Chains A and B, each alone.
Chain A
């Protein structure tokens, strides 16, 4: 089954303790992206990746890192989490990036609810 898999689904941690949220897709998609969803703010893009070893900042990259060493995986790393990073995180992928002449809707993972105390 074609899917985007995020782990864990729920995570409670303390300020400053490094964590990684994994994301994997089995559709051979080029484009992958991380979003955070907060009440009243909708979805905001954190980082995205055009392909292996190609990543770029979204609108809210501060406090996050990503890597794209393999096409299928796009982990989100919080080196020193803070309470303002408490949020619902979504990983998404598409066959091609959202560029002109491309018709590639994003496929979303099930989300990771992160709480930082």
Chain B
């Protein structure tokens, strides 16, 4: 059974600071997804990391993937209040024999950026 573990689960940080969210997964997945959920809202896709060493950046967020270490990171640079949200990572797993994979999510990291 795949496990996807994020840490920390809660993160309170001041504006302007840097921090990293970690996502460990337990199987040999070749890709990793990051999603953002604003309070009371749905989830939206942030990044799709497709291979070992992949790095993607958008604004103050940068995500990377190390498939050998089974680790993805989401780095926040110079945080601003608008980044306050819950961030989820997800990895595909669970081959069913029909050529399908389930997508298993971590529990999410609730980020609060304090002015």
Contact = CB atoms under 8 A, between A and B. Distances in A.
Contact of B88 (A42, A48, A50): A42
B98 A98 contact: no
B12 interface: no
Nearest to A40: B107
A33 interface: yes
Counting chain B residues whose Cβ lies within 8 A of the other chain, the interface size class is: 20 to 34
Nearest to B34: A105
Contact of A103 (B35, B44, B48, B102): B48
Interface in A62-107: 90, 92, 97-100, 103, 105-107
A42 B99 contact: no
B103 interface: yes
Interface in B74-96: 88, 90, 92, 94, 96
Given A50-B98, A54-B98, A106 B104 contact: no
A13 interface: no
A1 interface: no
B61 interface: no
A58 B99 contact: no
A48 B105 contact: no
18 contacts: A40-B107, A41-B107, A42-B107, A45-B102, A48-B102, A54-B98, A58-B102, A90-B42, A98-B102, A98-B103, A99-B99, A99-B100, A99-B101, A100-B30, A105-B35, A106-B33, A108-B44, A110-B42
Q: Which A-B residue pairs are the 10 nearest by beta carbons?
A: A105-B45, A42-B107, A98-B92, A43-B105, A108-B42, A98-B103, A108-B43, A98-B101, A56-B96, A99-B101
